[in-house]
Amino acid sequence: MEERKPILSAKDIEITFSMRGRYLKAIRKCSLDLYEGETLAIVGESGSGKSVFTKSFIGMLDNNGSITGGSIMFEGVDIAKYTKESDWLKIRGKKIAMVFQDPMTSLNPLKTIGEQIREVIELHQGIKGEESKKMAIEMLEKVGITDPANRYKQYPHEFSGGMRQRVVIAIAAACFPKILICDEPTTALDVTIQAQILDLIRNLQKEMGMTVIYITHDLGVVANVADRVAVMYAGELVEVGTAEDIFYDARHPYTWALLSSLPQLGEKGQPLPTIEGTPPNLYNDIVGDAFAPRNKHALRIDFIENPPYFEVSPTHKAKTWLLDPRAPKCEAPKVIQQLRSKMKGR
């Protein structure tokens, strides 16, 4: 593979929240390189740190949280060191934009859809008057809103959930960001709309050359969209690889567990397997591998020492003692070995 330079490089990021004198370490040394033009999916159960990790790229952590270690290099600057809102305003929305699960949180109910897109265009691109209005209408058309000139004059409540999410994406894309972070953008929408929004994001990305981070708790959603997948558990990235690596050659037992609950693997009439147990309490210090108590394949050392990353291939790494040369041989569950044939024809 050719050497590629990352567009954003997070290294050993630690994020801590303070709650009434107690500290919760939400992100525990996460390193991630993001490459230009790719779609990277971040997957993991609710509470694993997907939102917190990526919000730190645009300075949107809640007030009681801060980056307590590591660096985030973007355009030659360590943005993890930013403390002033004026610094973040040069990046947030403009170079790195984020779309959230609930489109209503991003829209102003009192302003027309058109005005809201137009404002962003005027603010970020310095275009005014009829010109910005024209661009806003074009943007609505680009995100698949029919009759955009009339829809321009309507208010958010006159749009359906799926259409509102399209508008939010239009607002994000109107600044031509280099990186678009989509944080569970379809979780609140029904399945058909979900597929349409995914298509939309994919098309916009191709057309505009954006780099996309797609966050979801549902691994099934990303099979057809992601170039690479990062799996998150209890504030750590436990496995990172190409979509091929993660779907067909997963090495971490947590990734196995996620894959086992894919609807594609379900037998008719049988409930899908769920992952037993609960993630650790992040207020406590975690000893060993955070997944060990829920891991059927855990080794003794898992309860003693946190594993390092093992490189499976130049594109693929996983943080599990099972990959240590001294570990007993442990194969992926049978059902996962059948994944390739089961995913065919989708």
Ligand X SMILES: Nc1ncnc2c1ncn2[C@@H]1O[C@H](COP(=O)(O)OP(=O)(O)O)[C@@H](O)[C@H]1O
Judged by the rule CB under 5 A, the positions of this chain that interact with Mg ion are 51
Tell me, what amino acid is at 190? D
State which of residues 6, 9, 11, 24 lies at the interface with ligand X (CB under 6 A).
24
The two three-digit tokens of residue 215, written as one number: 């966050």
Nearer to Mg ion, 48 or 242 (CB): 48
Q: Which one, of 35, 94, 39, 3, lies nearest residue 229 by Cα? A: 39
Nearer to ligand X, 46 or 150 (CB): 46
| Contacts with ligand X, 42-61, as mask; x by CB under 6 A | --x-xxxxxxx---------
Interacting partner of 282 out of Mg ion, ligand X, none (Cβ under 5 to 8 A depending on kind): ligand X
CB of 257 to Mg ion, least distance (A): 19
Nearer to ligand X, 228 or 297 (CB): 228
Q: 């680009």: which residue's tokens?
A: 142
Taking the C-alpha atoms of 332, 336, 337 and 341 in order, what is their torsion angle to the nearest 10 degrees?
A: -170
User: Is residue 13 helix, strand or coil?
Assistant: strand
CB of 183 to Mg ion, least distance (A): 6
The two three-digit tokens of residue 128, written as one number: 């005014």
Candidate ranges 16-24, 240-248, 270-278, 313-321; the one touching ligand X (CB under 6 A): 16-24
| Contacts with ligand X, 87-126, as mask; x by CB under 6 A | ----------------------------------------
Candidate ranges 19-27, 99-107, 188-196, 291-299; the one touching ligand X (CB under 6 A): 19-27
Nearer to Mg ion, 56 or 116 (CB): 56
CB of 255 to Mg ion, least distance (A): 19
User: Is residue 9 helix, strand or coil?
Assistant: strand
CB of 233 to Mg ion, least distance (A): 14
Interacting partner of 64 out of Mg ion, ligand X, none (Cβ under 5 to 8 A depending on kind): ligand X
Written as one string, the DSSP assignment of 28-71 is: EEEEEEEETT-EEEEE--TTSSHHHHHHTTTT---TTEEEEEEE
CB of 286 to ligand X, least distance (A): 12
Instruction: Give the pairing of strands 211-216 and 179-183.
Output: parallel
Residue nearest to Mg ion (CB): 51
Query: Residue 341: what are its φ and ψ, rounded to 5°?
Result: -70, -35
User: Per CB under 6 A, does 62 bind ligand X?
Assistant: yes
Written as one string, the DSSP assignment of 60-122 is: ---TTEEEEEEEEEETTEEGGG---HHHHTTTBTTTEEEE-S-HHHHS-TTS-HHHHHHHHHH
Binding residues among 229-288 for ligand X as defined by CB under 6 A = 282
Rounded Cα distance between 115 and 174, Å, is 13
Query: Residue 63: what are its φ and ψ, rounded to 5°?
Result: -60, -30
| Contacts with ligand X, 63-82, as mask; x by CB under 6 A | -xx-----------------
Query: Residue 96: what are its φ and ψ, rounded to 5°?
Result: -130, 120
CB of 265 to Mg ion, least distance (A): 25
Interacting partner of 320 out of Mg ion, ligand X, none (Cβ under 5 to 8 A depending on kind): none
Residues of this chain that interact with ligand X (CB under 6 A) are 17, 19, 24, 26, 44, 46-52, 62, 64-65, 282
